[in-house]
Homo-oligomer: A and B are copies of this chain.
Amino acid sequence: MRNRSVTYSREATFQALADPTRRAVLDLLRRGSQHAGQIAGVFPVSRPAISKHLRLLRRAHLVREHREGRHRVYQLNPEPLRAVDKWLEHYRTFWTMNLTSLKNFVEAEYARETGKQSLDRPAAKNVKGEN
């Protein structure tokens, strides 16, 4: 048995998601596996182009491929997307914020911008160095 909680590279994942075609491929595969030809048939670009997208998606572990006769079947593997979800979590709080916390935020902002500091502004992190 294979402990499948591998830590896929966040890097490759975000990278793979950067292209709209690739995202569309994932969206397509959500509805079920497809073979390369079918996938290519859906998009307005050449088959080799899709082939390369699939390669990237494979590299990012967002899809798995296996042969089936002379077809290459591609299957979605949503697992790496968890990392993205995780990353997003930090930001989700921003738009889930209630007015109170929002107030804090804006206040801190305002304080910082105007010079007076009524809040944190972690000076400890003040990385100077070379600018």
What band does the interface of chain A fall in when counting residues whose beta carbon is under 8 Å from B?
35 or more
Question: Main SS of the interface on chain A?
Answer: helix
Q: Does A52 contact B (CB under 8 A)?
A: no
Known contacts A2-B113, A14-B23, A91-B30; A108 and B75 CB within 8 A of each other: yes
Number of copies of this protein chain within its complex: 2
With both beta carbons as reference points, the residue of chain B lying nearest to A65 in the complex is identified as B112
- Rounded to whole Å, the gap between the CB of A35 and the closest CB of chain B is 10
Shortest Cβ gap from A18 to chain B (Å): 4
Nearest-Cβ distance from residue A112 to partner chain B, whole angstroms: 5
Q: Shortest Cβ distance from A29 into chain B, in angstroms?
A: 11
Interface residues of A in 57-89 (CB under 8 A from B): 64, 66, 68, 73, 75-76, 78-79, 81-82, 84-88
